[in-house]
Amino acid sequence: MGDIYYKTIKKITSVLLFVEGIKDAAYGEIVEIKLGDGNTVRGQVLDSREGLSIIQSFGDTRSMNLKETSVKLSGSAATLNVSTDMLGRVFDGLGRPRDNGPPIRSDEQLEINGSAINPYSREEPSEFIQTGISTIDCMNTLVRGQKLPIFSGAGLPHNKLAAQVARQAKLRSNDEGFAVVFGGMGINSEEANFFKREFESTGAIDKSVMFLNLSSEPSMERIILPRLVLTTAEYLAYNQGMHVLAILTDMTNYCEALREVSAAREEVPGRRGFPGYMYTDLSTIYERAGKIKGRKGSITQMPILTMPNDDITHPIPDLTGYITEGQIVLSRELYRKGIYPNVNVLPSLSRLMNQGIGKKSTREDHRNVADQLYAAYARGIDVGNLIEIVGEEALTESDKKYLKFSAEFERRFVSQDYYEDRDIEKTLELGWELFGGLDMEEMKRLKPEQIKRYGKWKDARRETD
């Protein structure tokens, strides 16, 4: 592509440049935009036709002008230099060091958009990850290679939960932890520092790579950043055989950046102004989690998003939920009750749970205990709602037991300390203890032989004999 600088910019908007006279810019090609004062900003070709290219600038278009600003084609799509030297380092949204360290030198350059994994090559994720958090391990089990997002709300402790998962997550067969690739999009510096401190204090920093784009930095970089995270993750997983946990926060900021570009391009908007292709776009991020047959490493994703106005039907959580393999939903109500982690188990779900639990990996009663906890808690919540209308006197004996159960469940099962690492046996035992407060005959999700073995009712053994 040589050193041709096109000075034929016709129009500039807040994020787009319309450049005339370019004959053959590749779709998706990276360009360098040179300002009058010699500063450069990177950009990418969004639409290319003979004689006109539409370029999206990754930086601010402030002080660009039609006269002096020029554009140079790089000849290739966006790539990232990858190497194991990246471990322990911090980069910005375009992959430049932000920790005063040297840039990464490597012979290996990967295209950041990646390619789709052939579904035929995928290995079904099935290895149980013990996070030490009861609501996740027992009721929304995470398995290696899964993408399980946290749906949160503004001001809720999702970062704490993600950090606790990153710290405690391990397989039961060995103590091998995860390498963490962290992507922070449009987060504030306090959040960024929280994660840095967390990783440093646990020593995890040596096995982690951080990409940070702060809320004060160009929003366009947020569109690139998750792709850098996943390209790094893929390199570590599939080329270096590591097990990677990719944490992406906050996907809401990512989607808003996407909307900003879409609006600038004057595209027909879908729901709430988000572009119609947002589902496809998000899937090119989330679907990069997984395991591949015959390769050692894996990528487990834990994206975090804050639901605007705690609304789970908002397009961002909605489209995410349709792609990811479940979701962990945080509740404001539980948070107000002082419960940490404030996981609302009812709308939470792990789709890959069944593959990772049971006799071989956890315990044979795992599925049944989880189902019974769900059913009983849902009933307890229903009863709680009923009280508001009819008052407590109108409840049946059995209703009262469920009401008590749900309160106990929140207080003892959901709630745990930030540093409490409960193993799965302890979690299941806790479940059985809670069932003890209900009538044994109503435990339809539990199998008789399980009740006999684990039941805490006085007559459990006798009755089922």
Q: What residues numbered 349-408 form the site for other proteins, per CB under 8 A?
A: 349, 351-352, 354-355, 367, 371, 374-375, 378-379, 386, 389-391, 393-396, 399
Contact indicator for 220, 58 with CB cutoff of 8 Å: yes
Residues 230 to 259: which contact other proteins by CB under 8 A?
238
Instruction: Select the span of 41-49, 239-247, 252-260, 449-457 touching other proteins (CB under 8 A).
Output: 41-49
Measured from the CB atom, is 259 or 288 closer to other proteins?
A: 288
Sign of the torsion angle spanned by Cα atoms 285, 287, 293, 299: positive
- Using the contact rule CB under 8 A, the part of the chain among 114-122, 180-188, 217-225, 416-424 near other proteins is 114-122
* 153 lies in the binding site for other proteins (CB under 8 A): no
CB of 439 to other proteins, least distance (A): 11
Which of the stretches 119-127, 182-190, 222-230, 424-432 binds other proteins when contact is defined by CB under 8 A?
119-127
Give helix 189-201 / helix 158-168 axis angle, nearest 10°.
20
Closest among 75, 26, 19 to 51, alpha carbons compared: 19
**Residue from the set 8, 74, 113, 202 that interacts with other proteins by CB under 8 A:** 113
Number of residues that bind other proteins (CB under 8 A): 85
Minimal distance, residue 81 CB to other proteins, in Å: 19
Applying CB under 8 A, does 314 fall inside the site for other proteins? yes
Q: Please select the residue that binds other proteins; options are 20, 39, 40, 49, rule is CB under 8 A.
A: 49
Closer to other proteins by CB, 187 or 376: give it: 376
Q: Which stretch binds other proteins (CB under 8 A): 34-42, 81-89, 265-273, 425-433?
A: 265-273
Chain residues 200-229 in contact with other proteins, contact rule CB under 8 A: none
User: How many CB atoms are located within 10 Å of the residue 336 CB?
Assistant: 9
Please give the residues from 323 up to 342 whose contact with other proteins meets the rule CB under 8 A. Answer: 323, 325-327
Residue 288, CA distances (Å) to 114, 332, 350 in order: 8, 30, 18
Is the Cβ of residue 172 or residue 295 nearer to other proteins in the bound state? 295
Among 59, 125, 218, 341, binds other proteins (CB under 8 A): 125
Dihedral sign of CA atoms 365, 366, 368, 372 in order? positive
Residues 6 or more apart whose Cβ sits within 8 Å of residue 22: 6, 8, 48, 51, 52, 53, 71, 73
Residue with token string 């990153």? 166
Residues in region 65-104 near other proteins by CB under 8 A: 76-77
Q: How far apart are CA 27 and CA 45, in angstroms?
A: 6
292 to 311, contacts with other proteins by CB under 8 A? 292-293, 295
Query: Which of 25, 148, 187, 247 touches other proteins (CB under 8 A)?
Result: 25
The closest alpha carbon to 443, from 432, 453, 429, belongs to 432
Q: Give the Cα separation of 258 and 66 in Å (integer).
A: 25
- Answer yes or no: are the C-beta atoms of 352 and 146 closer than 8 Å: yes
Among 37, 116, 190, 462, the residue binding other proteins under the rule CB under 8 A is 116
Q: What three-state secondary structure class fits 256?
A: helix
Q: Which of 26, 35, 171, 339 binds other proteins (CB under 8 A)?
A: 26
Q: What is the dihedral of CA 361, 362, 363, 368, to 10 degrees?
A: -110
Distance between CA atoms of residues 424 and 422, nearest Å: 6
